[in-house]
Amino acid sequence: MSAKKIVAGNWKMNKTLNDGLSLISSVIESDLPSDVLVIFGTPYIHLNEAKKLVGNKPNIGIAAQNCHHEDKGAYTGEISIEMLKSIGIEFVIVGHSERRQYFGETDQLVGIKVKKCLDNAITPIYCCGESLEIRESGNHISFVLNQLQESLGDLSNDEIQKVVIAYEPIWAIGTGKTASPEEAQEIHAAIRNHLSSSFNPSIANNISILYGGSCNAKNANTLFTKPDVDGGLIGGASLIAEDFLKIINSY
């Protein structure tokens, strides 16, 4: 077996409900490859309608872009895993660099959220990635492996194989500057080797490692040909049905 191919959209704070639903409709009504899991990461308030729209269509999933780490309580404005589960959500993007940067999420907190998802049978799409400064210092691999260790290091074999990893260099997110296929492959291979030695080789081979950061309809194809790139987490280009479809069909 090898890792599942996944193309996940992260809409961030974009799209009204109607615009979002019509984007999803255009994508799911198209001819989609049968071996790619397509995920729409919508704003919270669209999740319920989005889930109803896709129903139980095979290979289509809906993701929240965050969740709170506590089960319930006095956390004004927050959303719990139980609430997400109650509307059938199967995926949560956890630890996106924008959450880390603007909302102070640490590796430790991200690790708690990952565990909370797993305890509730929700698949976390765990994000990691370095800043430009770290990339330029040449320490990007050790930085990312340390993020992984801090957030995922305590998971069991059974748990880690249910995690999807998204490597997203911060310098590439929304900048139009993509990691080259070789740069992506280098770090994806390092992540897989790390998983292989921390857990075991067969688990490592089955974990999907997605690339994110200005991945688009033009460059997805060359990124996805790399052996350790199992798909993408797509921001800007997931907002336009035609572009997102091209990316989904890029294998």
Is 136 annotated as catalytic? no
Examine residue 236 and tell whether it contacts ligand PGA (CB under 6 A): yes
Judged by beta carbon, residue 54 or residue 215, the one nearer ligand PGA is 215
Placement of tokens 């924008």 in the chain: 98
Residue 96 annotated as catalytic: yes
Minimum distance, C-beta of residue 158 to ligand PGA, in the bound complex (Å) = 27
**Interface with ligand PGA includes 214 (CB under 6 A)?**
yes
Catalytic: which of 98, 140, 168, 194? Answer: 168
Judge contact between 232 and 38, C-beta under 8 A: no
Nearest to 3 by CA among 227, 171, 219: 227
From the centroid of its chain, how far is CA 136?
A: 24
Q: Which residue is nearest to ligand PGA (CB)?
A: 235
Span from 13-21, 26-34, 59-67, 234-242 in contact with ligand PGA (CB under 6 A):
234-242
Q: Where are the alpha helices (DSSP H) in the chain?
A: 17-28, 47-54, 81-86, 97-103, 107-119, 132-137, 140-152, 157-160, 181-198, 201-206, 220-224, 241-248
3-state secondary structure 105-118: CCHHHHHHHHHHHH
Interface with ligand PGA includes 33 (CB under 6 A)?
Answer: no
Site string for ligand PGA, 75-114 (x = CB under 6 A): ----------------------------------------
Of the listed 96, 140, 188, 194, which one is catalytic? 96
| Site stretch for ligand PGA (CB under 6 A), options 22-30, 151-159, 228-236, 243-251 | 228-236
> What CA–CA distance (Å, rounded) separates 234 from 207?
18
Residue 71: alpha-carbon gap to chain centroid: 22
Cα Dmax for the chain: 47
User: Please, which of residues 4-23 interact with ligand PGA by CB under 6 A?
Assistant: 10
Q: Give the residue numbers annotated as catalytic, written as ranges.
A: 96, 168
The contact set with ligand PGA (CB under 6 A) reads 10, 168, 173-174, 212-215, 233-237
